[in-house]
Structure 1
């Protein structure tokens, strides 16, 4: 009798542990998926906001470029300490700090009164974004032990999904009226970023898996610095990602200023870009495995650059090509990450840190250059009445974005030739 009761208690205990473990897994999944969704929102609501805040604060294109460069600098700063922070206080509190800092940035953006306070608020937001992105990557690696590739792709699907709807949602919220006044871009940022507080609930309730430490011979930074292939990969990723991020920052601005579109229509076009972007990552990942990573990047980046240039040359009737360019640019980042993992299997972490940090520096410089190109060309090509020709400046700035994608393709081609000669083609 006692043996039977003990057996029943053991069975109940085992069932409870399984149910509890499953419940905890769903909690952790909600943090990762929800985190990527919020990350996509916070990154891509700026498109509709930039033309409006620029008019309100009377900012030049160069000042907008500096503002966006500060965003990249905040992300770069986050790259330098997030891994150490996670080791020191744990991935749970790293994620919570990221979510809290993003919500706080929303409050500070709402309270900002000038360019200086707005820049500081955006800088904090992008530190939070950087900590969140790296933290989610660490978190996902520990949680998704089974079907890792599928779950990682699904995680990035949520980023793509929120990126697709973010511009349209932002433009819509900016037009809402509360207490007889329009919410505007400040209220929109506050409203959206307060959603960053939601994932904190499962973060507190969930039980996170401990990190396992394995002794592994890793690739040194010294060897990477001496490796020309590593520098070519840096160039490929930098040109590709700067081109990708620049679309989210400048497309709405371009359509509003050059073609006189309203914010809603321009935001819908940016949403279309992210729709193509999301679908490409979801359905074309398998193609990169079949034809090879390096060749995939050559084709994808060239396609994106050609689409963007064609969109500029054909004028307003070819605006849809801006969105279609997302098909190519979407594949660059994940394919480069896969290439790094294959080329540096025993030092992937070092290789990714080296590459992403230098890419962050390129992002800062890239945004600055785009803003200055627009201002410089606008002043050089004045209209008939002597007024600044901002349309030509914007075309030049967006042409530079297209050129970055084409440079990515050229660097990938050089990489392809070098790896083929060494019989190390991936």
Structure 2
């Protein structure tokens, strides 16, 4: 494109000259291949694509908030409603069940009711759950409201993944990583914002955890609104043109992809639950120092999703999975072997593990273009089950190793050994992600289908 054209006014052909920012044109041209320049006086741009971008990016942003504001809120919920630890554990377990349940039927819902209805239902149920949480007077009411929120989260995750697979037809790896960058961005700042909002006074009393939840979940209306005015391609596909779940499950590649994603997500999610605990108990770090290292991990995590997307497009999705997950696993294992001086490697592991989930989504979008809803639903649902098992195994390995080495005066040494064993398993999961990615690469190469 000649440089002179960069200074042209961008006008929408359909709307007859409505102004659009140049930055939106640049993003559109990079992500969607752009459109033909019809004359020297105008550049056309698809406004519908911009609306769908807002739905995807905004959806992942509010999704990250809804999942990660619970940290500062749970202790206050526990105090206000006089809940014990078992009730909190059951609350979170019950919600995970709602999330997995939603993941299992969202693909069917998209096929039956369409993407517009499905995304609106997800955003609407999350906003409604915020109201229910605000008025929850007891444990049963709170559990019901939380269950509704996690059902909305599950619907939203699958719907956004399917929508992204439909619209990111070019530079898919880059755009998938960029989409999940917004999730990482909101996840990083959600606990800080939630803690600050709970202390804000509005017309007298502080918002507290109830007001904070209602306010934050009401934000889901923002990406819902442009979605109501957008057109969604793919809904018109006939049922006979889609691949059935039964036929999809017969493909061994599908199961290898599940294994790749499961090992990667176990390694990714486990860091948030175990890193601070490890640093405090194994190295004697303060809570602030340990939290700082976790923040460094998430910073590396966010930066990787923002910058490494073009790399995955350049060298291929399966090759990216092999290299990046191996780097993450080696960093985690090396951090344990080196000891406290190598603690920075815990944060550096975030660079390798961050692109795994969005890159697998890009792989599914490219390989199963006409069956993305089936492929994503199948993969994410089984991944969710595997991640629950994986987190249980980390705890079990830690406890078993602790008791194995803890005897007499060596009880503290046993605890350290247990924590090291548990974290080694996190690193091993990343290596297993790399190994299964290599098996996937070899299988796809035999079929001449490497992506």
Which one scores higher on RCO, CA 8 angstroms, separation ≥ 6? 1
2:428 aligned residue (389, 393, 403): 403
Q: 1:80 aligns to what?
A: 104
Mapped pair 1:127 → 2:155:
no
Mapped pair 1:327 → 2:351:
yes
> Deviations along 1:360-382, whole A, 9 cap, x unmatched?
22123223333444444445554
The 8 Å contact of residues 237 and 333 in structure 1, kept in 2 or not, is answered as yes
TM-score normalized by structure 2? 0.72
> Deviations along 1:311-331, whole A, 9 cap, x unmatched?
334444433322211111122
Quick one: structure 1 residues 236 and 29, their matched pair in 2 at CA, closer, same or farther if it must change by over 3 Å?
closer
> Deviations along 1:189-223, whole A, 9 cap, x unmatched?
5554343344455556x354465524575444444
After alignment, is 325-334 or 94-103 more displaced?
94-103
Q: 1:228 aligns to what?
A: 252
2:385 aligned residue (361, 373, 376): 361
Q: 1:339 aligns to what?
A: 363
The 8 Å contact of residues 48 and 267 in structure 1, kept in 2 or not, is answered as no
> Deviations along 1:95-142, whole A, 9 cap, x unmatched?
34323433454566675866x876655443322111112233445566
Q: 2:437 aligns to what?
A: 412
**CA distance in 2: counterparts of 1:374 and 1:191, whole angstroms:** 39
The 8 Å contact of residues 173 and 310 in structure 2, kept in 1 or not, is answered as no
Q: 1:59 aligns to what?
A: 85
The 8 Å contact of residues 259 and 433 in structure 2, kept in 1 or not, is answered as yes
* Superposition CA RMSD, Å: 4.3
1:239 deviation in Å?
A: 0.9
1:213 aligned residue (217, 236, 240): 236
Q: 1:9 aligns to what?
A: none
**Unmatched 5+ stretches in structure 2:** 1-12, 21-44
Q: 1:33 aligns to what?
A: 57
**Unmatched 5+ stretches in structure 1:** 1-12
Map 1:25-424 to 2 at 5 A. 29-46=53-70, 59=85, 70-106=94-130, 111=136, 122-140=146-164, 153-170=177-194, 176=199, 189=213, 192-202=216-226, 206-209=229-232, 212-214=235-237, 217-256=241-280, 258-259=282-283, 265-382=289-406, 391-424=416-449
Quick one: structure 1 residues 137 and 262, their matched pair in 2 at CA, closer, same or farther if it must change by over 3 Å?
same
1:228 deviation in Å?
A: 2.7
**CA distance in 1: counterparts of 2:287 and 2:128, whole angstroms:** 26
After alignment, is 395-404 or 51-60 more displaced?
51-60
